[in-house]
Structure 1
Amino acid sequence: MTSRRHHAARTGALVAAAVVLTACAALPAPPAPVPTSVVPSTVPAPAATDDGSQLSPDGFDAAQRMAVRIRNIGCGALSTGSGFAIDEHTLVTNKHVVADSAQLELSTYDGRDVAAEAASTAALADLAVVRTVDALPAAPVLADADPAIGDPVTVVGYPLGRQLTVTDGRIMGAVTDPLHANLGEVLVTDAPVEPGSSGSAALDASGRVIGVVYAKNATGMSFVVPVSTLRTLLADAAAFAPAPTCG
């Protein structure tokens, strides 16, 4: 813990100009249908596999199947974000992805639409859960502990609300949340993300969830709610309340 806090102090410059990653657009133009292809892109990282990702082949396949694209249709505007299944009828995303909506539209990696039933948001972190009417394709395993500095990380989501994309990097440190949206520390990674990546799963090399992406800064570093926070909130039935709507 001491070395982690020492490294976190050195990452203080990384928190400047942090912004959340929801992509917004004016109505009525919706995004094109979700392409079924996956476009891996990487930064230098160890043990890259033939598909261009540092995930194992099994982990890469599972990452595709559990990722969900989210369209938040609000009152006069729409935004896009990402999420991932944690069981057959529940997905995790960010609070700011689902807040102030009139309707949530969900779709999977293969272009299948999934009906949303209800969304709830956490009071102490930029996290939300969405219950679905239709079954989700697959759910990942949540890691037992937060990653260490230097560990590989893979982010899987829908940047700009377009095709499913997988990007690789490393855990660079831990800092107090620069946006004050989370209680306690968040992780910093150099895995590339874009608007629309909010709610993406951050995975270890075995495809286990180690956190949830929610923001990036001006230097390209991204911020991740750690899996320890996610686990704590999921275990507390009182941690989530109905998401605010635009009406």
Structure 2
Amino acid sequence: MMRPVVYGALAVVLAVGPEMAQTRPKEAASVPAKSLADYSEAMENLAEAASPAVVQILVQRVAPVGQGDSQHMGFVAEQQATGSGVIVDPDGYIVTNAHVVQNARHIDVKILRVDERGQAPHGHLLPAKLVGLDSQVDIAVLKIEGSNLPTLSFLNSDTLRQGRLVMALGSPLGLQNTLTHGVVSATLRQLKPESPMVYIQTDAPINPGNSGGPLLDIEGRIAGINTMIYSESGGNEGIGFAIPANLAKDVYLKLRKDGRVRRGAIGVIPEAITPALAAGLGLDRDSGVILSDVAPHGAADAAGLQPGDVLISIDNKPVREVRDLALTVFQRAPGDELKMVIQRGKEQMTKTVAVLERKNEPNLLEDQASYDAALVRQLGILAVTLDEKVTAILPDLRRLSGVAVAAVPAEYAGLNPGLLAGDVIYEVNTKAIASLDELRAVLNEKKSGDAIVLLVERMGQLIYVTATPE
């Protein structure tokens, strides 16, 4: 159906008289010429100003080989990967994606720099230190040595609108300092209904290697941090996603301050109001958010919220969808307060709800583990010594010394005797274990076929887990 329409349009154009054919193209060419020139010059200026603050990240990591190949199951090899990042502080703090640097053994950053001879900007390699990462939002912070480095600033991503021009800067496929452009396709794209994460969707071409680089507005401010694409071919197909600047900046500041992100909860279960639900409950609205449950003794319960309350607004922002509540709580730190306007029956009231720290989130332990430093091959786990950061993630443990299971790598799953992320190992064959080094030392003494009994705390209970070394 498309081709006949196009051909018909061409036939009309070809049928115009000689005078029209001569004059119209000239007018069409002359009218936009100045605008196009201005646009081109603006793009050149933007690229020249922003490029020095955008870096290429080179990572050496240990990763599994032969995935799906039973002959190589359990083997790992050192691999190299590249990504992008952006300098956000003149003292050398860099924002990138967590997945770019996760499990890295060594990180280098290539910056564009002009030397004293005045040559064109060229790549200069510097070692980088990982300050912290947050895999839930997919943001990491690196630090390089330097001062007065070029930087880019974050804009208020709440002001973004569909259709705004944006540019992606980064190192797609390892090609440093590559600029592409497009528009904001959507401002609050939720990819998973159960996830509080929302993304900026853009058609600016993004490819592997762009991860961690900035999505910029026409003033050169960071609108988002490029993080992923939807693709059937593996390359750009015009559907890319960036972490909104407000969320990226919030995580950056928390990682820079504490090295980790403390997340909060208020103890409610929100549900979307549907016409059927509204009719059955006798509500005066057929859309919005209602609380189906309020956890006993939680923050919302203490503030006086009840099941059946309809959420109207949080901190003067209307609540229209479940994600509005989820994203607000997700971005708040323990100790913050939320001013929530609710409707109960015919009455509206305001409640102040304190945000409390989430407890027992074993998935956060993986952020504390470096692959090669944390691997305990005999048990098929990544593990970390209990310290202040770990006990903050797993509070109320029975003991204050031991080894926490951070993750179970798929390539070593066959060696795992049944340990889960969040388990804490206190003893091996009745011998107390106070650190990861002690655990390794005890396991290294065991011979093939020896019985190993681990005393483990799991979800507040002590259990025995048996293992037999190969």
1:94 aligned partner = 97
1:212 aligned partner = 225
1:143 aligned partner = 155
Report the Cα distance in structure 2 between the residues aligned to 1:79 and 1:167, rounded to whole angstroms: 21
Asked whether the 8 Å contact 1:153–1:204 carries over to 2, the reply is yes
Report the Cα distance in structure 2 between the residues aligned to 1:53 and 1:179, rounded to whole angstroms: 42
Give the gaps of 5 or more residues in structure 1. Answer: 1-46
> RCO greater where, 1 or 2, for CA within 8 Å and sep 6 or more?
1
Q: What is the letter of the counterpart of residue 115 of structure 1? A: P
Q: Are 1:66 and 2:66 matched, yes or no?
A: no
Asked whether the 8 Å contact 2:99–2:135 carries over to 1, the reply is no
After superposition, what is the alpha-carbon deviation per residue over 1:29-81, rounded to whole angstroms, capped at 9, x for unaligned? xxxxxxxxxxxxxxxxxx76669586472x32221110100011012111110
After superposition, what is the alpha-carbon deviation per residue over 1:189-234, rounded to whole angstroms, capped at 9, x for unaligned? 0000111110010000000001000001123310000011112223
Cα offset for 1:135?
4.2
Between Structure 1 and Structure 2, the one with more helix by share is 2
State how 1:105-116 maps to structure 2 within 5 Å. 105-109=108-112, 110-116=122-128
Aligned to 1:128, which of 140, 144, 152?
Answer: 140
2:216 aligned partner = 203
- Cα distance change of structure 1 residues 246 and 65 upon mapping to structure 2, 3 Å threshold: same
After superposition, what is the alpha-carbon deviation per residue over 1:145-167, rounded to whole angstroms, capped at 9, x for unaligned? 34211111100000111231000
Aligned to 1:246, which of 343, 351, 371?
Answer: 371
- Cα distance change of structure 1 residues 48 and 60 upon mapping to structure 2, 3 Å threshold: farther
Aligned to 1:175, which of 167, 184, 189?
Answer: 189
Q: What is the letter of the counterpart of residue 219 of structure 2? A: S
Aligned to 1:190, which of 200, 203, 219?
Answer: 203
Asked whether the 8 Å contact 1:81–1:161 carries over to 2, the reply is yes
Identity of aligned residues (%): 24
1:14 aligned partner = none
Q: What is the letter of the counterpart of residue 148 of structure 1? A: R
Q: What is the letter of the counterpart of residue 92 of structure 1? A: V
Report the Cα distance in structure 2 between the residues aligned to 1:49 and 1:120, rounded to whole angstroms: 44
2:250 aligned partner = 232
Q: Are 1:222 and 2:235 matched, yes or no?
A: no
2:461 aligned partner = none
1:39 aligned partner = none
TM-score, normalised by the number of residues in structure 2: 0.39
Asked whether the 8 Å contact 2:56–2:176 carries over to 1, the reply is no
2:178 aligned partner = 165
Q: Larger Rg: 1 or 2?
A: 2
Cα offset for 1:176?
1.1
- Which secondary structure does the structure 1 equivalent of 2:123 belong to? coil
206-215 or 216-225: which moved more? 216-225
Asked whether the 8 Å contact 1:118–1:132 carries over to 2, the reply is no
After superposition, what is the alpha-carbon deviation per residue over 1:138-189, rounded to whole angstroms, capped at 9, x for unaligned? 1012112342111111000001112310000000013113598x74211100
- Which secondary structure does the structure 2 equivalent of 1:177 belong to? coil
- Which secondary structure does the structure 2 equivalent of 1:102 belong to? strand
- Cα distance change of structure 1 residues 164 and 243 upon mapping to structure 2, 3 Å threshold: farther
- Cα distance change of structure 1 residues 171 and 100 upon mapping to structure 2, 3 Å threshold: same
Report the Cα distance in structure 2 between the residues aligned to 1:179 and 1:53, rounded to whole angstroms: 42
Report the Cα distance in structure 2 between the residues aligned to 1:160 and 1:179, rounded to whole angstroms: 31
Cα offset for 1:114?
1.8
